[in-house]
Structure 1
Amino acid sequence: MELIGILLFLISVMLIIGVLATKFSSKLGLPALILFLLAGMVLNRFMYFEDVQLTQFIGTLALIIILFDGGTQTKWEKMKPILGPASSLATLGVLLTTFITGVAAMYILDFSLLEGLLLGAIIGSTDAAAVFSVLGNKNFNQRLTSTLEAESGSNDPMAVFLTVALIQMIVMPDMSIWSAIGSFFVQMGLGLAIGLLIGKTSVFVINNIKLDTSSLYPILAMGAAVFTYAITDYFGGSGLLAVYVMAVFVGNSDLTHRFSILRFNEGFAWMMQIIMFTLLGLLVFPGQLISVFWKGILIAVILMFVARPAAVFISMLFMRYNFRQKLFISWAGLKGAVPIVLATYPIVAGIDSSNLIFNTVFFVVLISALMQGSTLSWLAGKLKLTGEEDDGYASVELINLGDTDSEIMKVTIPKQSPAVNVSLSDLSLPDHTLIIGISRKKKLLTPTGTSVIEKGDTLYVLGDKERRKEAKQSLLGKMEKAKTPSDITGDIKTKE
């Protein structure tokens, strides 16, 4: 029992310190992962931990949950206009970053070409958790924020594919590169198809099943996300891509118990980040980092100042982003959980240079997060990419009221809404529908007949479930159709 007590004490301290660390990280403009990693490095002075396979399993589970949380909070209306640039960054951008960094690593670390490319692939993608944590509460240009969030949420599959393919080519030298290219299209295609299929199924099940308590719906949604990864991986597809696609579909659908699902996801994702980064920190010993100190700095500098900018400018060559915007996107390529989790793959595969790769990746992630994460706000200000007004996007959330026939809709009013500048007394709402609250500029207002709706207001609308469509029509007009996740494929008809 003494050992169990010590472990429980360490876990509790780890969670408490992790939560408190987020307060300091937001003030410093750093990704919280830095402090979690440092906490793990401190803890390894008091406990010995080297279970790489357990860390890889927990890391993969954490990535599923983080991607599911990020995907459900991604607005399709914001993502749709930048889908082309984000897709190019998530594929061609990762490939170019991998090649440039890999060639540099080959000379700096005295690696073979494949080993150098493997290191480049591991650190080739931006990290969703790091990007979300840095961009989330900052007043950056909305188009750039959406581009970076979409890129970071969708580029992990490319990094995973390249890492696994390069490991296989190192272990099996006779493997054909053409079979790897064919495998890429199969993985991405299956990931997209299965993600959409399970996303649509999940929405139907959540909206129609009657569970005894509303607290079970978030668990059902999370279970569907993990199932999406597992079944896609079983059939040879990209599990992470499937999870992200499924999450975007679910998050942009009319979903009962949406509020409780999103809040549960957010809290659970934070907990998994704390556990994952701390465990990853436990695998690192500061003494081993000293041996790659200067080489790690050189690779990090090449990655931040050469590989990432070159990848961004080339992959966005004919896209409508100016030089300042591309420069900002280049600097916002933060590294985090994915590279460190992927760095455990060579160790599990038994590659000779795996420990050097892991320590180098860890060092590069620390440098990237410290330098880029702490200066992102400053750079945005210098490039005059902050404070731009958002045109506003329609947003609808449903809050279920148990076994009743009523529900509360949380509706964010965009600039183009027909309800803007209309008083509540003049608003044509269906019978038995009432606006019970208005949130405006972080203040909750009590609605009266003379209250006038403004752009950006969030309305809390109490009404019958069967009159939901009429209420949305009154508040959003025909714009609500643009928000449905059916636009992801273009041929799935909305029920409404």
Structure 2
Amino acid sequence: MLQEIIHTDTFILLTSVLLIVGVLTTKFSARLGVPALVLFMLVGMVMGSDVLGIIYFDNASTAQMIGVFALVIILFEGGLQTKWSTLRPVIVPSLSLATLGVLLTTGIVAAAAYFILNLGWLEALLFGAIVGSTDAAAVFAVLKGQNIKERIGTTLEAESGSNDPMAVFLTIATIELITAPDASIIKMVGSFFIQMGLGLLLGIIAGKLAVNALNRLNLDSSGLYPIFSIAFALLTYGITAFLGGSGLLAVYVLAIIIGNAEIAYRQSIFRFSEGFAWMMQISMFVILGLLVFPSELFTWDIIIKGIAISAILMLIARPVAVFLSTIGMKYTLNERIFLSWAGLKGAVPIVLATFPMLANIEGSQLIFNVVFFVVLTSCLIQGSTITNLAEKLKLTGPKKTTPMHSIELVTLGQVNTEMVEYEVETDSEVAGKTLLEIPFPEGALVNAVIRNNQLITPTGNTTIIPGDFLYILTAKKSKSSLKQVLTEKKTEDSVEELPESV
């Protein structure tokens, strides 16, 4: 009994240390110019048995379970942040990259793995399938808060959010061909379309049900709404996977629908999901770091082979896949170059690399080590240079501003009043006008104006300028009218005449 308590206490202590170290590494990542997820993996590797020897972990099954759970949360949070208005124009190229692009990448990398790793053709195809997709966790983490043009950023996010089903299908299908040579390829292809179709359909249905439930439920605390939304995401994944569909795709579609709908306690759900996604991201990459043994990874054999395959993946396979997948689509050369370089690898390939280990495929340990090395180099080299490349290719937009959102005033769901926070943009119609001149809906009241971190008590003659933060109390039924007033844009001529924020 005493030993069990000590074991539990030790587990809680180590978990707290890993999370705290993971959070602190995000501060250093910006200064070092290294993506935080690389540092998360390094934390796991250092804490593992090969370095400090604090934690011994080699359970691929547990790592796979934690990885899939974390991916559900990360995809849910990423989908919440995806705007339908920017997603709709890039759906076709994103799906093309998520399907044809993954196939092309898989084929080219498989050929490289056959010669470089001395694998059989099926094992080489398995390796290609594992690293063929762009990783959602890596893309969401690296692009978060960056001012990369919306069209390109959304293309990458939509591709990474929807290409996991293809990678999972190719990996499992290849394992079946290795372990059961008489497996039917035609049935496998049919199974893929069923998975995609079910994932899309159930994601849409779940999204509609979730929005309806969130708006109709009258829970006793605002803190229960985020928990309910996360539970709905996990339920959607579980039911879809149980029925043979793509659970990850269903969760991403569900999140997009919720994120673009007017729902109760929207910001509570968004902020909770963001924090939970960070926790899952830290946990997942630390666990994956623990799973690898540096003494086996950083051998000259793995390093040389890993660098060769990484170079082929980054400089040949991904660019070929992007250029062929976007033929006839309205992307410039610079945009295609950026999309080619931004095909980050991350958690999904490492999680998929545990599949052949669990299936006892010959050479599975070699495949896992090289996949991990490829992911490490991709995050380190591509992830740390994405922003600089976007600037050189002139694919950066204006500084990202804080969008209009609501602040929940009370914890009870019965009150139908919200406080709306809005940052005034340069081209906003309200900029340059006094509060009396702005046609606010009836009952809306500007409670405060924050300008250069200073509180201004508003009067009817207060002139609003770009950069101001407005805090407006309004009834929920008037929120859409208020949003229309605040988001209306000026003409180009009138924008030039606006006073600058001082």
Same topology, TM > 0.5: yes
Q: SS where residue 425 of structure 1 aligns?
A: helix
Pair 1:75-2:83 in alignment:
yes
Q: Distance in 2 between matches of 1:354 and 1:128?
A: 24
Pair 1:406-2:417 in alignment:
yes
Q: Distance in 2 between matches of 1:236 and 1:374?
A: 37
Q: Distance in 2 between matches of 1:458 and 1:194?
A: 39
AA partner of residue 136 (structure 1): K
Partner deviation per Cα, 1:19-74 (whole Å, 9 max, x = no partner): 00011112233221111111111111222211111111111000000000111011
The structure having more radius of gyration, on CA atoms, is 2
AA partner of residue 109 (structure 1): L
For structure 2, the 5+ residue unaligned runs are: 490-502
Pair 1:309-2:319 in alignment:
yes
1:444 CA displacement = 6.9
Q: Distance in 1 between matches of 2:446 and 2:483?
A: 12
Residues 136, 161 of structure 2: 8 Å contact kept = yes
Q: 1:27 to 1:130 in 2, by over 3 A?
A: farther
AA partner of residue 444 (structure 2): T
The within-5 A match list for 1:400-479 is 401=410, 402=412, 403-411=414-422, 419=430, 421-438=432-449, 447-453=458-464, 459-476=470-487
AA partner of residue 30 (structure 1): V
Which of 16, 29, 36 lines up with 1:32 in the alignment?
36
Structure 1 residue aligned with 2:16: 12
Q: 1:244 to 1:206 in 2, by over 3 A?
A: same
Which of 187, 191, 199 lines up with 1:179 in the alignment?
187
**How large is the Cα RMSD of the aligned pairs?**
2.5
The within-5 A match list for 1:108-187 is 108-187=116-195
Structure 1 residue aligned with 2:308: 298
For structure 1, the 5+ residue unaligned runs are: 479-496
Q: Distance in 1 between matches of 2:68 and 2:23?
A: 21
Which of 229, 233, 236 lines up with 2:241 in the alignment?
233
AA partner of residue 359 (structure 1): N
Q: SS where residue 343 of structure 1 aligns?
A: helix
Q: Distance in 1 between matches of 2:147 and 2:454?
A: 19
Q: SS where residue 74 of structure 1 aligns?
A: coil
1:397 CA displacement = 4.7
Q: Does 439-448 or 274-283 show the bigger shift?
A: 439-448
Structure 1 residue aligned with 2:367: 357
Pair 1:55-2:56 in alignment:
no
Q: Does 401-410 or 34-43 show the bigger shift?
A: 401-410
Which of 182, 193, 217 lines up with 2:201 in the alignment?
193
Q: Does 468-477 or 21-30 show the bigger shift?
A: 468-477
1:350 CA displacement = 2.0
Q: Distance in 1 between matches of 2:158 and 2:80?
A: 12
Q: 1:183 to 1:448 in 2, by over 3 A?
A: farther
Q: Distance in 2 between matches of 1:297 and 1:391?
A: 36
Structure 2 residue aligned with 1:487: none
1:17 CA displacement = 0.7
Q: 1:48 to 1:453 in 2, by over 3 A?
A: same
Q: SS where residue 292 of structure 1 aligns?
A: helix
Pair 1:255-2:259 in alignment:
no
Q: SS where residue 462 of structure 1 aligns?
A: strand
Partner deviation per Cα, 1:210-233 (whole Å, 9 max, x = no partner): 111111111000000000100000
Structure 1 residue aligned with 2:335: 325
Residues 114, 120 of structure 2: 8 Å contact kept = yes
Q: 1:145 to 1:279 in 2, by over 3 A?
A: same
Residues 240, 247 of structure 2: 8 Å contact kept = yes
Pair 1:372-2:374 in alignment:
no
1:156 CA displacement = 1.6
Q: SS where residue 466 of structure 1 aligns?
A: helix
1:129 CA displacement = 2.0
Q: 1:410 to 1:176 in 2, by over 3 A?
A: farther
Structure 1 residue aligned with 2:276: 268
Q: Does 457-466 or 437-446 show the bigger shift?
A: 437-446
1:442 CA displacement = 7.8
1:3 CA displacement = 2.7
AA partner of residue 43 (structure 1): M
Residues 33, 274 of structure 1: 8 Å contact kept = yes
Identity %: 52
Residues 145, 400 of structure 2: 8 Å contact kept = no
Residues 77, 393 of structure 1: 8 Å contact kept = no
Q: 1:245 to 1:413 in 2, by over 3 A?
A: farther
AA partner of residue 14 (structure 1): L
Q: SS where residue 471 of structure 2 aligns?
A: strand
AA partner of residue 338 (structure 1): V
Residues 254, 396 of structure 1: 8 Å contact kept = no
1:271 CA displacement = 0.8
1:107 CA displacement = 1.4
1:400 CA displacement = 5.9
Residues 395, 413 of structure 1: 8 Å contact kept = no
Q: Distance in 1 between matches of 2:64 and 2:135?
A: 16
Residues 98, 121 of structure 1: 8 Å contact kept = yes
Structure 2 residue aligned with 1:490: none
Residues 419, 473 of structure 2: 8 Å contact kept = yes
Q: Distance in 2 between matches of 1:36 and 1:393?
A: 28
AA partner of residue 153 (structure 1): G
TM-score, with length taken from structure 1? 0.90
Q: Does 86-95 or 221-230 show the bigger shift?
A: 86-95
Q: 1:193 to 1:457 in 2, by over 3 A?
A: farther
TM-score, with length taken from structure 2? 0.89
Q: Distance in 2 between matches of 1:399 and 1:85?
A: 38
Q: 1:315 to 1:415 in 2, by over 3 A?
A: farther
Q: 1:13 to 1:316 in 2, by over 3 A?
A: same
Q: Distance in 2 between matches of 1:448 and 1:158?
A: 57
Residues 406, 418 of structure 2: 8 Å contact kept = no
1:253 CA displacement = 0.6
Residues 441, 481 of structure 2: 8 Å contact kept = yes
Q: Distance in 2 between matches of 1:270 and 1:91?
A: 28
